Structure 1
């Protein structure tokens, strides 16, 4: 008789904990092939040695780094000797490096700096500084014989300069001062050279007490240049420029010592009659001498040329900026003197003259309680009636007061100029949600400006403006604008139908 079967309990799968979250599956093999200390260790020393030897045979720059690492095992002298051989080769070389060889040459120079920083510096910071100085000292000779149109080689020397300053900053104050003092002679000889810039970069990092010897040496050099004045010549102009750099560096030293009087005396020597009154007033105010600061900030200055550089143009140079900065400092000085009413009057005057929104906000912040609402209405009324409607629109949109901005647009609809797209485009975008008529007026002016001038580079923007106008058309009341949306589109086709590049964008 067969034995009776016993019931076995059903197997249940273990359920995950309620707070457990499934992790995304990692692609198979992804971690194994990513170089990391763990994955490389798995290769074993023999395999790694083979890879390194193979790369040293193919890559001279990598070979130099490996050789330097091996030299470091023998001590700083071995690494220094290796660097010295490369520096000697650079100093004796005279061949021209064209653009085809520039990349390899820049990589080699960069490897030299890397060896100094990664291998020599940990062993002997002083020796690393000496090699960096020697490397930088030969910078002019190297740059004069290389096609460095990309700035790659110059970038290596800038890296070396930054590294020199960083290493010197880690020295003791006395040792850092000794290094800086050793740079005075090359600085006075050529303030614009690779070594000359080092001293200027180091001075702000030095202790104020360590600057006396440097300042005395710079003063003697500047005095010698003043006595050695010569008739107008290229050499004389270079000497004048060098002397100016020396005096400017002495001003940096004066700032490090918080010596406003020394700064002012040097400014008078640099630009007699045309001193930078803003810089002087800033320092006098910081020194707790607001009355003298006010005298300087209000002084009449001899007219002179303002050279606008390419960098100024790229950054959007505002010719009103320097005067606004001067007036803002005058306000701070008046506040420091306790002349709050005069400061407030000047804030309001600046707002009235230029619709300066930050100045108006500062004005409101200084008002007594319950007076700001009346002042705000007065300010907005003034903005609406401002002589320059584009400036007024920019202010009202930025403040913001969109109702007044829309009213200004519709009231002066014929005055808007499409070339002022920096004002009209953001204004139209801000108005499009709640004020379709005002937005339509601005988008039409923007589009008309693009098509009438044939600015093909802006056709993409023009196509977007027309699409915005199509979307606004149904939200306009009948007769709100002339011509009506359909008639406006017909006019565009009639007047600009041959601008196929524009209409092609709409079809796309």
Structure 2
């Protein structure tokens, strides 16, 4: 039997130039993006000027474009843009990194006019521009230091043209790569411009790189209060060892909140600071660094008690002295069992995992589960099925009851699968603990929902009729 053929540089070289040339021509004939890559490689044999000229022609065409682009041409356009990007970041960058940076920035600047001409609802075009933005730091690193000095002025132009955050992301990413004198000049230039969020973002990145944190704080306070990011500021100050300032910022109640824990079944976004787990996690690290260990542990426990966020409990237990953690873990489990929201408690026990406690919780709340919370109940039922079939049955019945009660015909396929799981679980249950046995449940289901022919057709199709 012939061995499996694999593609590798060695196996392709073994084909010989004639065969490779024929294959390349065949592919280039029907693949415009590939054809552009081949032409760029050929231009590279003539030097960087030839590759740059090829790129410049494509960029000029992009910049001149005014006509709307039909949606069915979006995929081909994305492939064409990706080929142009590869020509810049591979073919030209290998020969002349400085020229590649100039073309890359020009390429990214084209997004503003292009997005006015196409509905990029799929995000394909945006993805190419994000890839381009992420490529800039690598190219800047490959430039000679004198050439790097031109990058800030060119990025200022990009910042002025941008309608999307590509330029700001690029500017922040290259700050650590530039010398102190270049950064000083860049900051002076930015300080003379009309201030906006992007300008502030870049100037703050420069301030961090130059270790001028007082300027960093001054710039943050120029933002409207609702735009300030206390957690990010606190992280920056903490990394710099300014613990008092970091603690003051992380405790600020205003500004953005980045990571609030919302349990399944909660009616609204929690407003309490203890639900902002990223903020609390940082505050506890700062307290530890200040040798305020007891305060840090108290805060971890309070956050866990409010959210049942598992990582907060892990952090709390890890900081305890030996042999105490088991008692504290039991205290945490008891707290979870009495949690105001049984879905949050179930999610916690399934994830920890403590399936025995999850099963007990399911049984004690057997009449309370609402199948609308399927994102919690389905994985819980799957996790419990093997060791705790009765608890899994309770959850699958709740899921199916919701689908049928609301006649959710698009979900009938899911409902049929839930019923099939109930059929399979029934043989594993000896004590139904007051629950209707499976045969009686099946009969009642048929009596109550016999007219839902779409559902029963799905059941029959799955062989569970």
Residue in 1 that maps onto 2:382: 429
Deviations 1:361-406 (A, max 9, x none): 3222222233333333332222222222222233233333333333
Tell me which of 438, 443, 446 is aligned to 2:396.
443
Aligned pairs for 1:321-470 (under 5 A) are 323-470=276-423
Partner of 2:191: 219
Deviation string 1:394-452 (CA, Å, 9 cap, x unpaired) is 32333333333333333332222222223333333333334333333222222212211
Structure 1 residue 267 corresponds to structure 2 residue 239:
no
Partner of 1:169: 141
CA distance in 1, matches of 2:68, 2:146: 42
Cα-to-partner distance string for 1:233-252 (whole Å, 9 max, x where unaligned): xxxxxxxxxx1210111111
Number of aligned residue pairs = 451
Q: Which moved more, 1:356-365 or 1:334-343?
A: 356-365
Residue 95 (structure 2) aligns with: 123
Give ranges in structure 1 of 5+ residues lacking alignment. Answer: 1-24, 226-242, 309-316
For the residues of structure 1 that align with 2:42 and 2:362, how far apart are their CA atoms? 74
Give the distance between the partners of 1:57 and 1:299, measured in 2 at CA. Answer: 62
Residue 276 of structure 2 aligns to a residue in which SS? helix
Residue deviations 1:128-185 (CA, integer Å, cap 9, x gap): 3333444444443344345555444445544444444432221133421332233324
Kindly state the Cα deviation for residue 121 of structure 1 after the two structures are TM-superposed.
Answer: 3.5
Give the 3 Å change call, closer, same or farther, for CA 265–48 of structure 1 in structure 2: closer
Question: Is 1:246 matched up with 2:199?
Answer: yes
Tell me the residue number matched to 1:20.
none
**Shift of residue 333 of structure 1?**
1.9
User: 1:507 aligns to what?
Assistant: 460
How far, CA to CA, are the matches of 2:120 and 2:144 in structure 1? 37
**Distance 1:439-1:83 versus aligned 2 partners, 3 A rule:** closer
User: Which of 424, 442, 448 is the equivalent residue of 1:495?
Assistant: 448
1:77 equivalent in alignment to 2:14: no
* Contact 1:429 1:439 (C-alpha < 8 Å) held by counterparts: yes
Contact 1:396 1:405 (8 Å CA) reproduced: yes
Q: 1:339 to 1:96 in 2, by over 3 A?
A: closer
1:441 to 1:179, Cα distance in 2 relative to 1, 3 A: closer
Greater radius of gyration (CA): 1
My pick for the range that moved more, 69-78 or 462-471, is 69-78
Which residue of structure 2 lines up, in the alignment, with residue 8 of structure 1?
Answer: none
Whole-angstrom CA distance in 1 between matches of 2:229 and 2:214: 14
Cα 1:412/1:61, change in 2 over 3 Å: closer
* 2-structure distance, mates of 1:334, 1:342: 7
In structure 2, stretches of 5+ residues that fail to align are 260-267
TM-score computed with the length of structure 1 as normaliser: 0.75
Structure of greater relative contact order (alpha carbons < 8 Å, 6+ residues apart): 2
Residue 2 of structure 2 is aligned with which of 18, 26, 30? 26
- SS of the residue corresponding to residue 374 of structure 1 reads helix
Q: Deviations over 1:166-224 (max 9, x none)?
A: 322211334213322333244246574876664344324334553111111111214xx
Aligned pair in 2 of structure 1 residues 209, 34: CA closer, same or farther (>3 Å)?
closer
SS of structure 2 residue aligned to 1:332:
helix
In 2, distance between residues paired with 1:354 and 1:461?
30
